[in-house]
Chain A
Amino acid sequence: MSKEPVAVVGIGQTKHVAARRDVSIAGLVREAAQRALQDAELTWADIDAVVIGKAPDFFEGVMMPELYLADALGAVGKPMLRVHTAGSVGGSTALVASNLIAARVHGTVLTLAYEKQSESNAMWGLSLPIPFQQPLLAGAGGFFAPHVRAYMRRTGAPDTVGSLVAYKDRRNALKNPYAHLHEHDITLEKVQASPMLWDPIRYSETCPSSDGACAMVLTDRAGAARSPRPPAWMLGGAMRSEPTMFAGKDCVSPQAGKDCAADVYRQAGIADPRRDIDAVEMYVPFSWYEPMWLENLGFADEGEGWKLTESGVTELDGDLPVNMSGGVLSTNPIGASGMIRFAEAALQVRGQAGEHQVEGARRVLGHAYGGGSQFFSMWLVGAEPPVS
């Protein structure tokens, strides 16, 4: 028996900001969930199950927050489950929800991811003082910066490529009312003059710390037929993982990322991603990860990703726009960041991305990664239902 096709019929986000002091965690997730229900013109009663994701509990210090969020998400009396895959969790959460529909376990599922970073300090949460270990590391930027340098060495990319990505994403964010950073006076010179935090990563090439939530209503073919607005159809979705560190790991272009993308393309019948995919929302917390993932995801040959960025291909009006929403570089409620990629991909193929809409986007990839390039989750969504 073939899988049930999965459609996205509702999308909701909060306005992402540094601190939402006016709401509780429950109030924050509620806001995104209600917007997704409104978009789908559904009520709590129409939802069969709730699948929620967020980054590690240390990021807010609430153990198993999903238990207390059941009331806020209309989950009482329904199945509710939580997904954990570090920074990729927003993507993985949507995929777990989609699997429940594809397997015909449920007809309509609410999926949601969030982070309220203002309640804690992620840098602290990622740098616990483990006994007998030498404390050396300064946050996620310090972890990823050596990999960026390795990419630059491997490909000969000029130093300026990272700043081009940051400048593009921050300008794209100006067209997205939900984005956290709205830097109206951004210039390339300002990005290039910003301080080096973890050389070769500059301040303006890093993501902010945000409070925010993102929700989607996923449904089956019958649910899609009732949708008041055009659905986005899932054409393929996959997750892969590998250890954070092992002998032979390619930290620049991890095998798990390549395998995950290949699986998605196989499901969706994509022979040449560069030709067959119209735009990408990818997880770029540090600007250099755009050219790195362009290669990892098969949009460019090895060593060639930076040339797409440099030549303007990934600009909003380019041939392969990347992070039309402004991306993680402009908005990073960690647990939600992956789901925002997935939801923004869906908005594009529904033609509902507003000012950052890519004209005629028919197939868009949503991508997330997490841990030390350890978890990958991706989906490809289309304007037309899958053929099989």
Chain B
Amino acid sequence: MPEVLKAPLVVEFPFTRSLGPVQSAFLTGLRERVVLGVKTVDGRILVPPVEYDPVTSDDLRDLVEVSPTGTVTTWAWNHEPRRGQPLDTPFAWVLVKLDGADTALLHALDAPGGPESVHTGMRVRVRWAEERSGAITDIACFEPYEGGKDGTRELTGHDGQFADMVTGIVAPARLDYVYSPGRAQSGYINALVERRTVGERCPSCRKVYVPPRGACPTCGVATSEQVEVGPRGTVTTYCIVNIKAKNLDIEVPYVYGHIALDGADLALHGRIGGIPYDQVRMGLRVEPVWTDGGRYPDHYRPTGEPDADYDTYKELV
């Protein structure tokens, strides 16, 4: 069996979040070293706060300030912190019920004593980050705390208003994949290295798929018979791209074409060059132009043959 290709694929984007009134107050509060909870219809204090009552679905806007000290309700030891986690040395993930709150907040506990030093019921307090911007990371982490719980302390209401409210945050996301195009596409890609275009024929409908996917989407059967197609083909349709896309290193305008290679039963997509963009037309006969080290034809250029008659390719449009 020929080699199946693999390559890393990183998907990364700085998503933005508009916060709405409750999260805006909560995160701005953290910047000001104030932890806010919200009071539900049945009188519970939720930390972190939510916008809508989980029982009655009513709007919740009644904010209260809770204590930066609390009690661990459960925990798990993290032996090997990964990129982007709150601490870079082993730590405990903890759920902390802050004094005054009825629900627990997920965060990290810096426990230099190791997992043996952590237990449910242990007292902890917020360690504030040096630089705070209005984010959950304004709590750098929690740390062990010897003080007890002051049961007499009255919760104070808070209007949630601060100077210079934080109304939005950036929430970067990154996913690391190992991508494999699979057997059929690997064969196609490997043949391209030899400047050959190889599709696969469906044993049932006899259609030749380029690029092949290993199965016929119409018949639902596996394909394996390899068929070399091209190198020449016909432009079945196209558009002229005048807008530069991010991460796409092609000068505009360029022609993005659907090209039915001779012997293929559907068109593949490629750039048409070697001809002024406004002279490209449906039915134009083209051939691939390769560049050294290129994995794909750089573009397709006119062969000089007469244009294909519309009836010969209209089923491939």
Which residues on A are within 8 Å of B, measured CB to CB? 19-24, 26-27, 30, 44, 58, 60-62, 71-74, 76, 116, 118-121, 123-125, 127-132, 134-139, 141-142, 145-150, 153-154, 195-201, 243, 245-249, 251-252
In the assembled complex, which residues on chain B have CB atoms less than 8 Å from the CB atom of A149? Answer: 237-239, 282
**B18 in contact with A20 (CB, 8 Å):** yes
Q: In the bound complex, how far is the Cα of B54 from the Cα of A26, in angstroms?
A: 13
In the assembled complex, which residues on chain B have CB atoms less than 8 Å from the CB atom of A30? Answer: 51-52
Chain B 257-286, CB-CB to A under 8 Å as 1, else 0, gives: 110000001100111000000000010000
Q: In the bound complex, how far is the Cα of B205 from the Cα of A286, in angstroms?
A: 34
- Closest-CB distance, A255 to chain B (whole angstroms): 11
**A248 in contact with B52 (CB, 8 Å):** no
Q: In the bound complex, how far is the Cα of B165 from the Cα of A21, in angstroms?
A: 13
**A24 in contact with B5 (CB, 8 Å):** no
**B238 in contact with A146 (CB, 8 Å):** yes
Known: A134-B296, A136-B270, A247-B207. A26 touches B52 (CB 8 A): yes
Beyond known contacts A120-B15, A137-B245, A149-B239: 9 more, CB 8 A cutoff: A44-B57, A73-B57, A74-B57, A119-B17, A119-B18, A131-B9, A132-B185, A141-B243, A251-B317
- Closest-CB distance, B127 to chain A (whole angstroms): 27
Does B13 reach chain A (CB closer than 8 Å)? yes
- Closest-CB distance, B151 to chain A (whole angstroms): 30
Does B77 reach chain A (CB closer than 8 Å)? no
Q: Which single residue of chain A is at the shortest CB-CB distance from B56?
A: A44
Known: A72-B51, A142-B241, A153-B282. A243 touches B217 (CB 8 A): yes
**B242 in contact with A153 (CB, 8 Å):** no
In the assembled complex, which residues on chain B have CB atoms less than 8 Å from the CB atom of A71? Answer: 50-54, 57
In the assembled complex, which residues on chain A have CB atoms less than 8 Å from the CB atom of B317? Answer: 150, 153-154, 251-252
Q: In the bound complex, how far is the Cα of B54 from the Cα of A153, in angstroms?
A: 57
Q: Which single residue of chain B is at the shortest CB-CB distance from A138?
A: B245
Chain B 273-308, CB-CB to A under 8 Å as 1, else 0, gives: 000000000100000000000011000000000000
Q: Which single residue of chain A is at the shortest CB-CB distance from B171?
A: A61
- Closest-CB distance, A292 to chain B (whole angstroms): 13
Q: In the bound complex, how far is the Cα of B8 from the Cα of A129, in angstroms?
A: 11
- Closest-CB distance, B293 to chain A (whole angstroms): 14
**B247 in contact with A246 (CB, 8 Å):** no
Chain B 186-222, CB-CB to A under 8 Å as 1, else 0, gives: 0001000000000000100101110000001110000
**A24 in contact with B20 (CB, 8 Å):** yes
Partner of A131, one of B7, B209, B257: B7
In the assembled complex, which residues on chain B have CB atoms less than 8 Å from the CB atom of A58? Answer: 11, 13
Known: A21-B168, A146-B256. A76 touches B54 (CB 8 A): yes
Does B179 reach chain A (CB closer than 8 Å)? yes
Partner of A23, one of B18, B242, B250, B266: B18
A-B pairs under 8 A by CB, number: 181
Between A and B, 30 residue pairs with Cβ closer than 8 Å are A19-B18, A26-B51, A44-B57, A71-B53, A76-B54, A119-B15, A120-B13, A120-B16, A131-B8, A131-B9, A132-B185, A134-B296, A135-B247, A136-B248, A136-B250, A137-B248, A137-B269, A138-B256, A139-B245, A149-B237, A149-B282, A154-B317, A195-B242, A196-B240, A197-B241, A197-B242, A197-B243, A243-B217, A246-B266, A247-B208
In the assembled complex, which residues on chain A have CB atoms less than 8 Å from the CB atom of B18? Answer: 19-24, 116, 118-119
Q: In the bound complex, how far is the Cα of B108 from the Cα of A171, in angstroms?
A: 55
Does B162 reach chain A (CB closer than 8 Å)? no
Q: Which single residue of chain A is at the shortest CB-CB distance from B202?
A: A247
Partner of A147, one of B202, B237, B242: B237
Q: Which single residue of chain B is at the shortest CB-CB distance from A249?
A: B266
Known: A24-B20, A137-B256, A245-B266. A199 touches B239 (CB 8 A): yes
**A146 in contact with B237 (CB, 8 Å):** yes
In the assembled complex, which residues on chain B have CB atoms less than 8 Å from the CB atom of A197? Answer: 241-243
In the assembled complex, which residues on chain A have CB atoms less than 8 Å from the CB atom of B55? Answer: 76
- Closest-CB distance, B8 to chain A (whole angstroms): 7
Q: In the bound complex, how far is the Cα of B237 from the Cα of A148, in angstroms?
A: 9
Does B1 reach chain A (CB closer than 8 Å)? no
Does B163 reach chain A (CB closer than 8 Å)? no
In the assembled complex, which residues on chain A have CB atoms less than 8 Å from the CB atom of B168? Answer: 21
Q: In the bound complex, how far is the Cα of B179 from the Cα of A71, in angstroms?
A: 37
Q: Which single residue of chain A is at the shortest CB-CB distance from B9?
A: A131
**B257 in contact with A146 (CB, 8 Å):** yes
Chain B 47-83, CB-CB to A under 8 Å as 1, else 0, gives: 0001111111100000000000000000000000000
Which of A73, A118, A145 has the most chain B CB atoms inside 10 A of its CB? A145
Q: In the bound complex, how far is the Cα of B247 from the Cα of A26, in angstroms?
A: 32
Does B167 reach chain A (CB closer than 8 Å)? yes
Q: In the bound complex, how far is the Cα of B157 from the Cα of A247, in angstroms?
A: 66
Known: A149-B239, A196-B242. A132 touches B247 (CB 8 A): no
Top-3 shortest CB links A-B: A145-B239, A24-B20, A61-B15
Does B145 reach chain A (CB closer than 8 Å)? no
Q: In the bound complex, how far is the Cα of B57 from the Cα of A243, in angstroms?
A: 41
Q: In the bound complex, how far is the Cα of B252 from the Cα of A195, in angstroms?
A: 13
- Closest-CB distance, B314 to chain A (whole angstroms): 8
In the assembled complex, which residues on chain A have CB atoms less than 8 Å from the CB atom of B153? Answer: none
**A136 in contact with B256 (CB, 8 Å):** yes
**A24 in contact with B13 (CB, 8 Å):** no
- Closest-CB distance, B144 to chain A (whole angstroms): 31
- Closest-CB distance, B265 to chain A (whole angstroms): 4
Q: Which single residue of chain A is at the shortest CB-CB distance from B243?
A: A197
- Closest-CB distance, A31 to chain B (whole angstroms): 11
Does B234 reach chain A (CB closer than 8 Å)? no
In the assembled complex, which residues on chain A have CB atoms less than 8 Å from the CB atom of B257? Answer: 146
- Closest-CB distance, B185 to chain A (whole angstroms): 7
In the assembled complex, which residues on chain A have CB atoms less than 8 Å from the CB atom of B13? Answer: 58, 61, 120-121, 124-125
Chain B 151-182, CB-CB to A under 8 Å as 1, else 0, gives: 00000000000000001100101000001010
Partner of B23, one of A24, A129, A138, A141: A24
Which of A199, A249, A251 has the most chain B CB atoms inside 10 A of its CB? A199
- Closest-CB distance, A214 to chain B (whole angstroms): 19
**B181 in contact with A132 (CB, 8 Å):** yes
In the assembled complex, which residues on chain A have CB atoms less than 8 Å from the CB atom of B295? Answer: 132, 134
Known: A119-B18, A142-B256, A146-B257. A198 touches B239 (CB 8 A): yes
In the assembled complex, which residues on chain B have CB atoms less than 8 Å from the CB atom of A137? Answer: 245, 248, 256, 269
